Structure 1
């Protein structure tokens, strides 16, 4: 975004800030703003919306969501401005696309608390055009969280091989750090399970990026080749709406798909019943509950504000973790049961299993990985 546009956004925000109603300390109203999707996307927006709504209903808080009128920084900033003008003083923003909003809005509205999910230091410094992240946004009213994507990626790859799959694929969206961590973790999990089972010579991984976060005819054609010609059994579709191309191709040959970020079984299985093996999830709902509780119930916001937390495993209770597989929709079998998953999580939590989070180069593994680069 050009500096002149940002400056205009700040001026507009400042005008709204002066008009925003004053809120008494502890008189909280919660709003979330959707990014480029909506609250029925079975992904970041829907998960965040449902978590915010449930918390507010349980605790008697006013809640609303706002959908920008376009997929742009300006539109997202305008929605934040409108929420604040309407009296909402906790804003929950799901995804790195809100980096410019945090950079612009957090200094203008010091009395508003911003919860930014899946937003890294690099996202913030890039949006602000600075090197020092503390100069990029207001650290006095903002909490940011990123997630250790390599861990659920590892879990998904490990589970798939244990379940009996031997020819696997990874279809990433764009080769951004989060997607790469998912993919490299996936490869490490595949390799670990193959080594345990003594089948490294039998396991092959096709690995590619679509070059975009949505499916199209070209990517579907590539997936048709993977499934129908190369004999790929399951593809980890990792990146926004790119799952559509994997699912369309899988449906033609009774193939399987692994979802990402949230439990995507409801939307993937619409292409074919039982198509989703599992989903490599980020714990957006636990994050929302933790931070809203800290503000509204526990008065511990000071323990979180100003941080950019890198969230992962925190508990033997798998559903309390910030990265996980879904218990209900994962297709557990004799090769990999729910109890096996819980044992895997416990071993990772105890440090018996570690996952490299480097994104510099494909992990060195014993299984065969065909690194195909970008499809387009």
Structure 2
């Protein structure tokens, strides 16, 4: 009896997926989003993705629902994807590399649904061929990392820190870009001998007492002025330490102005962002406009697409909450133009820390 009911549900879904079109020629889609190990209030990947999906669905008058897995495992994530599909959702958005294994398992079973993976690389998919009903976006993290390091030095900071989460490719690119940006600005200002970058990975994607203690040492004992906290919730440890000494913090992935400044007024310097919302909007629009072939079966690295229109780019710094004084939005616009035109080159290699003129102190993982 259960099998008959499931078959009936699936048959109805298939009819909906294949036959239901909007009168205006747009494909009628139902959008679902599944959270990874966090929830939609994480003030990071999940929340940004959720809001982008919700806003798009409301604007286009489409059904939208999010699902939170029961636990932090591939099996739990697959169960939520199964539930979304069986509930009739035919476009499923999955934020974060933790979905890599899940996508490879479900895409072939649900070939009539489309999957949008955010920050999921070919390696996260196990190196296998990307199914035609899957699009995954990765980001050129070295670019916003570069912007953040460059901005910090131009703003006047001379003792910087990079606190990464786990040493996965995305975090490494952020860190190596940060070092390159700090170095470029220091060389332009003629202060390379005065700039130091402390560099460490926490070994996890959340803050705790041990990581906070390390950050206490950086701010209090080493004289670090600003830390680029890069990796999930690890930024909380940087903020806890910074709050004790009026230190500064650079956010990551999304504009973390409000979150960081909640620990201390003016604590946030800038954030090295990925355009999760822009990606969601672009791909959902393509699906609705019957242009899925533009994305089908691809893993695309998204970065700068314009040297003049900052809002069009998939990586960058937030300008709406700009608080820096010495490094202005106009300065940033000029920098973006130079990077886009390749008059400034940024290496995306993660094989070894880039050779730079500024001093970089590297440490063993904290945990």
Q: Secondary structure at the match of 1:247?
A: helix
Q: Secondary structure at the match of 1:181?
A: helix
Q: Secondary structure at the match of 2:364?
A: strand
Question: Does 1:374 find its partner at 2:365?
Answer: yes
**Matched-pair contact (CA < 8 Å) for 1:42–1:263:** no
Question: Does 1:226 find its partner at 2:227?
Answer: no
1:207 Cα offset (Å): 0.4
| Deviation string, structure 1 residues 93-120 (Cα, Å, up to 9, x no partner) | 0011111221111000011010111000
Q: Structure 1 residues 16, 146: CA separation in 2 closer, same or farther (over 3 Å shift)?
A: farther
Question: Does 1:245 find its partner at 2:237?
Answer: yes
| Deviation string, structure 1 residues 284-323 (Cα, Å, up to 9, x no partner) | 0110010000011x22111111110011000121121110
Match of 1:99 in 2: 100
CA distance in 1, matches of 2:142, 2:270: 15
Match of 1:265 in 2: 257
Q: Secondary structure at the match of 1:121?
A: coil
* TM-score (normalizing by structure 2): 0.93
**Matched-pair contact (CA < 8 Å) for 1:17–1:108:** no
CA distance in 2, matches of 1:70, 1:274: 36
The root-mean-square deviation of aligned C-alpha atoms, in Å, is 1.6
Runs of 4+ in structure 1 off by over 6 angstroms are 14-17
Match of 1:61 in 2: 62
* Structure 1: gaps spanning 5 or more residues: 1-10, 126-130
1:16 Cα offset (Å): 10
CA distance in 2, matches of 1:20, 1:251: 55
1:1-376 to structure 2, matched below 5 A, reads 18=10, 21-22=13-14, 23=16, 24-25=19-20, 26-125=27-126, 131=127, 133-134=128-129, 137=130, 139-296=131-288, 298-315=289-306, 316-333=308-325, 335-376=326-367
CA distance in 1, matches of 2:313, 2:28: 29
* TM-score (normalizing by structure 1): 0.91
Q: Secondary structure at the match of 2:107?
A: helix
CA distance in 2, matches of 1:373, 1:331: 33
1:19 Cα offset (Å): 6.3
**Matched-pair contact (CA < 8 Å) for 1:167–1:205:** yes
Q: Structure 1 residues 115, 199: CA separation in 2 closer, same or farther (over 3 Å shift)?
A: same
Q: Secondary structure at the match of 1:364?
A: coil
Aligned residues: 353
Q: Structure 1 residues 336, 204: CA separation in 2 closer, same or farther (over 3 Å shift)?
A: same
**Matched-pair contact (CA < 8 Å) for 1:20–1:85:** no
CA distance in 2, matches of 1:203, 1:179: 22
